[in-house]
Structure 1
Amino acid sequence: MTTAVLFDMDGVILEGPRTEPDVYANAADAALVELEADPSPSQRRDFRRHDYDRIRDHCVDLDVDPAEFWRLKETYASSRTHDRLRDGERGTYDDIDAIRDLADRTTVGLVTNNRHETAEFVADYLGFDFDVVRGRDPTFEGYDRRKPDPYYIEEALDALDITEGVYVGDSPKDVVAGRAAGLETAFVRRPHNRARERPANATYDLESLQEVVDVLESAGGNG
């Protein structure tokens, strides 16, 4: 049986554990301009965050479609993120070539809490031959389905028609989601999580993506 190796993106491939808050703040401002909305300063602060209950309320007050605002905010955030990657403002870790090596040996995929548009961009921009790429949908429901919910990991496994594998992440929620999806989990060490205790139920604790090859052999994957 083929074993899949699925990778998280932020903190595993891209440096840093998450998208910079300013990216979302500026994306919210751009979405409000496009929608010709004029929020109060306190409303604008909420729009710049991810509290979508308040965002829904403010959209009603401003006669704005909440779903359209959220979609635009996600789109502008993706665009800015892609520019930052092209300009070198956000880098990648120096061990990601291990993913290319693994792609020659077994099924590999990318599953992230980040936006699906950005996940596809990263896969293409960095030249990864992933068998499946899955990020969050640009909807309120899509945001709710982020890890530790296993939803997107399970979708990726269904698309691959695979039930066994390893999920590689950098946070406890990655371990929770991977285990909930029935996978083994590899917790990879990065500068931002170096001092963190090994998450409960993490199958492997790795210093580098190069060690994932050993994990693959241990899990019995051979393509």
Structure 2
Amino acid sequence: MTTVLFDMDGIVLEGPRTDPQVYADAADAAVADLEIDPSPAQREDFRRHDAERIRTHCEELGVDPDRFWELKERYASQGTHDRLRAGEREIYDDVATIRDLADRTTVGLVTNNRHETAEFVADYVGIDFDAVRGRDPTFEGYERRKPDSYYIEDALATLGVADGVYVGDSHKDVAAGQAAGLETVYVRRDHNRDHERPPNATVELEGLTGLPAALESL
């Protein structure tokens, strides 16, 4: 069976993205660590993920933008992990399908989310992924998110393969998978139920349970 790479948010973790409050709390923690005193407007920008504004404000406040970004990413990962442990964010029930596939073929986890969180989630769900790749905690790492195919291609290189399937829940997932030369599976969840199917998605599924049969047909 072919190599199968999976998105994380919306495929493994319920919901399409990290709760914005996690980033807000992470920014506040980074501000405290760096002992800076931003204005209310600056603090509000720090809480968002606008890389250019964060760079500008860090320079205005005399701190290293790269250091601030790294701290914010680290605290965001910690906050996400705490929410998972507390049951504030759940795992989809059909993730068992990935666990079964991992016993039969090569599987990977490739996400726009932070690499630290991707590794945590892989361990948390108890799936032996052959490759795990999330974004690097740098400005450059953030800019390489899907629809850029950088992280998918990096995972493929790690696995030593050039083809396979990418499974995701967004247009960006399908675009990135196609750019990396993979077949793509678009999975319907509650948050994308009314979205148009991405152009040229190879397969569309109502959840992961139909994935093994779909892979056999590719």
Structure 2 letter corresponding to 1:81 = T
Partner of 1:44: 43
Give the letter aligned to residue 93 of structure 2.
D
CA distance in 1: counterparts of 2:21 and 2:174, whole angstroms: 28
**Displacement of 1:216 after TM fit?**
2.0
CA distance, structure 2, for counterparts of residue 68 and residue 75 of structure 1? 11
Q: Is the 8 A contact 1:3 1:162 kept in 2?
A: no
Partner AA of 2:59 in structure 1: V
Distance 1:28 1:142 in 2: 18
> Deviation string for 1:49-106 (max 9, x for gaps)?
1111111111111111100000000000000000000000000111000001101111
What corresponds to 2:22 in structure 1? 23
Is residue 98 from structure 1 mapped to residue 97 from structure 2 by the alignment?
A: yes
- For 1:197, the equivalent position in structure 2 comes to 196
CA distance in 2, matches of 1:198, 1:6: 20
Write the deviation string for residues 196-215 of structure 1: whole angstroms up to 9, x where unpaired.
12110100000121111012
Cα separation, 1, equivalents of 2:22 and 2:190: 22
Q: Does 1:55 align with 2:79?
A: no
The equivalent residue for 1:181 is 180
Looking at structure 2, the residues matched to 129 and 51 of structure 1 have their Cα atoms a distance apart, in angstroms, of: 34
Cα displacement string for residues 148-172 of structure 1 (whole angstroms, at most 9, x for unaligned residues): 0000000000000111111000000
Within 1, Cα distance between the matches of 2:127 and 2:107? 9
Secondary structure of the corresponding residue to residue 13 of structure 1: coil
Aligned to 2:122: 123
The sequence identity of aligned pairs, in percent, is: 72
> What is the letter of the counterpart of residue 133 of structure 2?
R
Separation in 1, partners of 2:17, 2:207: 19
Once the 2 structures are TM-superposed, how far is the Cα of residue 108 of structure 1 from its aligned partner?
0.2
Displacement over 2 Å in runs of 4+:
none
RMSD: 0.7
What is the CA–CA distance in structure 1 between the aligned matches of 2:22 and 2:207, rounded to whole Å? 28
- Larger RCO (CA under 8 A, 6+ residues apart): 1
C-alpha distance in structure 2 between counterparts of 1:9 and 1:65, whole Å: 30
The DSSP-based 3-state class of the residue aligned with 1:135 is strand
For 2:154 and 2:82, the matched residues in 1 are separated by: 28
Q: Could you say which residue in structure 1 is the equivalent of 2:9? A: 10
Q: Flag structure 2 segments of 5+ consecutive residues without an equivalent.
A: none
Superposed CA deviations along residues 111-131 of structure 1, whole A, max 9, x for unmatched, are: 000000000000001101100
Partner residue of 2:69? 70
TM-score by length of 2: 0.99
One-letter code aligned to 1:136: R
The CA distance in 2 between the partners of 1:42 and 1:172, in whole Å, is 32
For 1:146 and 1:187, the matched residues in 2 are separated by 18
Aligned residue identity for 1:66: P
- Structure 1's unaligned 5+ residue stretches are none
Match in the other structure for 1:210: 209
The size of the alignment, in residue pairs, is 218
Report what 1:149 is aligned to: 148
**Structure 2: distance between partners of 1:210 and 1:105:** 15
